[in-house]
Amino acid sequence: MNTKKLKASAIGKHAVLIALCFLAVFPLYWMINTSFKPAGEVFSASLWPKTWTLDNYRDAWNAIPMARMIGNSLLVAIAQTFTQLITSILAAYAFTRWNFRGSGIIYGLIGLTWLVPFQVIMIPNYVVISNMGWKDTLTGLIVPNIASAFAVIQLYNAFKAFPKTLIEAAHLDGASDWSVLWRTIVPNLKAPIASIGILQFITAWNDYFWPLLVTNKLENSTMQKGLQMFMSSEANLWGPLMAATTIACLPVLIIYLLLQRQIIDSFVKGGLR
């Protein structure tokens, strides 16, 4: 009796979860599905292409310097993630390791920057980038984003939870502050650092408005800007657009598929708060 009831509820549970997963994945599926349909079939609702074609991919690939832009996206995303992690690890360490004058205020000021909408600071920063001669360069895309308030706050929370006794033990062994950070704390906090890194990577990869403004030539821009090419106001080229978006999502998707276990694990273990 009891087990039956339990089974029914378990089935219900799975049904709900399957429905939600379907909702989450369907757009991705539909995007890929459409991208393989020939022009005549794009408008049909068939769940898979009746005839498969790579035409859309060929069109998309030829219309913009795709390989170059993907390369740029990767470079920018990796550079940003890396620098953001380094700068925030240093900052988080400072806040947890020492009590110093103004720490509260500085922390507050850093946190507040999270609330500043990018629409507000875009133009003034563009003027600076332009004056420094970084317009239309990857430097111009990366440099304004080497620090992230979000990363600082999240890492601070992770560092705060790190047992103080371990740090003191390392200190008694004669380790300097610097080596305590890199030899004791960071290796033990791989999970939260990784999960924050992943989020920062995704954010950097998906950034759209800043590259739109800073870069001129497609060769010097990131993948997101290339998508615009297919969303012209007068006619949507659905087939090539879906092919291009698929390509734009692909690298992150592949990384995600390969590391999916670790990513989810590091999130669940790392725990943002």
Partner 1 sequence: MMGKKNWTAGLLSLTILVTAACGSSETNTAGGSTNAAGSANAAASGEKTKITFYSYNLATAGQKDGTQKLIDEFEAANPDIEIEGIPVASPDINAKVQADIAAGSPPDVAQLVFDGLDYIANNFGAKPLEDLVPEDELAQAFEGFSPNGLKLGQLNGKTYGLPFTFSTPVLFYNAKLFADAGLDPEQPPATWAEVKQYALQIAEKTGATGVHIGGSVGNDWIVQALIGSNGGKVLSDDRKTIEFGSEEAVGAIEMWQDMIASGAMGKLNDSEVMEAFSQGQVGMLLFTSALQSSFLTAAEAGGWELKSAAMPSFDGKPTTPVNSGSALFILSDDEAKQQAAWKFLQFVTSERGYTIITSEIGYLPLRPAIVDDPQYLKDWVEQNPLIKPNLEQLERLNPWVSYPGPNWYQIETILLEAVQKSIQSTDDVSTIMQEAQTRAQSLVQ
Partner 2 sequence: MNYDTATSAMPKPKATTRPQAKQRKAFSARMRGVKPYLYLLPVVLSLGFWVYRPLLQTFQLSFYQWNLLPTTPKTYVGWQNFKNLLTLPEMGKALTNTLIYTIGVIPFSLILPLFIAVFTDSIGGRARNVYRALIFVPMIMAPVAVSSVWRWIMHPTNGILNQTLGWLGLDEPIRFFTDERWAIYSITFITGWKLIGFSTLIFSAALTGVNKEYYEAAKIDRANRWQIFRHITLPLLSPSILFMGMLSILFASEWSFSYVNVLTQGGPLGSTTNIYYLLWQYGFQTFAVGWSSAAAVVLFIGFGLIALGFMNLSKRLSFFDD
Three-state DSSP class for 140? helix
Among 4, 46, 233, 257, binds partner 1 (CB under 8 A): 233
Letters for 2-41 (x = contact with partner 1 by CB under 8 A, - = none) are -------------------------------------xx-
Least Å from the CB of residue 221 to partner 1 = 9
Q: Is 147 in the site for partner 1 (CB under 8 A)?
A: no
**Interacting residues with partner 1 between 163 and 222 (CB under 8 A):** 212-213, 216-218
Choose the one of partner 2, partner 1, none that binds residue 220, judging by a C-beta under 5 to 8 angstroms depending on kind: none
Of residues 173 through 202, those in contact with partner 2 by CB under 8 A are 177, 202
Q: How far is the C-alpha of 59 from the C-alpha of 189, rounded, in Å? A: 45
Asked if 193 contacts 186 with a C-beta cutoff of 8 angstroms, the reply is: yes
Taking CB under 8 A as the binding criterion, the range among 12-20, 60-68, 134-142, 166-174 that sits at the site for partner 2 is: 12-20
* Residues 223, 95 contacting (CB under 8 angstroms): no
Inter-axis angle of helices 149-160 and 103-113, to 10 degrees?
Answer: 130
Size of the site for partner 1 (CB under 8 A): 37
* Binding partner selected for residue 117 from partner 1, partner 2, none, CB under the kind-specific 5 to 8 Å limit: partner 2
- Which residues, numbered 55-114, are part of the site for partner 1 (CB under 8 A)? 59, 63-64, 101-102, 105-106, 109
**Ranges within 73-92 binding partner 2 (CB under 8 A):** 86-88, 90-91
Distance CA 49, CA 217 (A): 35
Minimum separation from the CB atom of position 46 to partner 1 (A): 15
Of 22, 26, 30, 43, the residue at the interface with partner 1 (CB under 8 A) is 43
260's contact among partner 1, partner 2, none, with CB below 5 to 8 A by partner kind, is partner 2
| Interacting residue with partner 2 among 38, 65, 71, 271 (CB under 8 A) | 271
Distant-in-sequence, close-in-space partners of 118: CB < 8 Å, separation ≥ 6? 209, 210
The greatest distance separating any two alpha carbons of the chain, rounded to the nearest whole angstrom, comes to 76
Contacts of 193 (CB under 8 A, 6+ apart): 85, 89, 155, 158, 186, 270
107-128 CB burial, b ≥16 within 10 A, e <16:
beebeeeeeeeeeeebeebbee
Q: Restricting to residues 151-170, which ones interact with partner 2 according to CB under 8 A?
A: 152
State the virtual CA torsion across 66, 68, 69, 74 in degrees, nearest 10: 120
Tokens representing 23 are 């909702």
Q: Rounded CA gap, 179 and 173, in Å?
A: 11
CB-nearer residue toward partner 2: 53 or 203: 203
Which residues contact partner 1 by CB under 8 A?
A: 39-40, 43, 59, 63-64, 101-102, 105-106, 109, 123, 126-133, 135, 212-213, 216-218, 228-237, 240
